[in-house]
Amino acid sequence: MAEGPVGLRPLRLRDVRDWRDTRLRNAEWLRPWEPSNPETPLFRTGLGPYVSMVGTLRREARQGMAMPWVVTYEGRFAGQLTVGAIVWGSARSAQVGYWVDGALAGRGIIPTALAMAVDHCFFTTGLHRLEANIRPENQASRRVVEKLGFREEGIRRRQLHIDGAWRDHICYALTVEDVPRGLLVQWRRTMNSAARRSESSPG
Residue type, 35: P
Number of domains forming the structure of the chain: 1
Instruction: Check residue 197 and give its pLDDT.
Output: 73
Nearest one of 67, 62, 65, 54 to 20, comparing CA atoms: 54
75: three-class secondary structure by DSSP: coil
Helices (H), 2-82: 16-25, 27-30, 48-62
CA–CA separation, 180 and 83 (whole Å): 20
Helices (H), 31-108: 48-62
CA–CA separation, 71 and 136 (whole Å): 24
CA–CA separation, 197 and 203 (whole Å): 12
Instruction: Check residue 71 and give its pLDDT.
Output: 97
9, 54, 83, 96, 186 from 3: Cα distances, Å: 12, 25, 19, 19, 13
Instruction: Check residue 131 and give its pLDDT.
Output: 98
Q: What CATH number is associated with residue 78? A: 3.40.630.30
Instruction: Check residue 38 and give its pLDDT.
Output: 47
CA–CA separation, 12 and 53 (whole Å): 11
Instruction: Check residue 176 and give its pLDDT.
Output: 98
Domain that holds residue 42: 2-200
Mean pLDDT by 10 residues, the chain (203 residues): 94 88 86 65 60 86 95 96 97 96 94 98 98 95 96 95 89 98 94 74 58
Instruction: Check residue 161 and give its pLDDT.
Output: 87
Instruction: Check residue 33 and give its pLDDT.
Output: 79
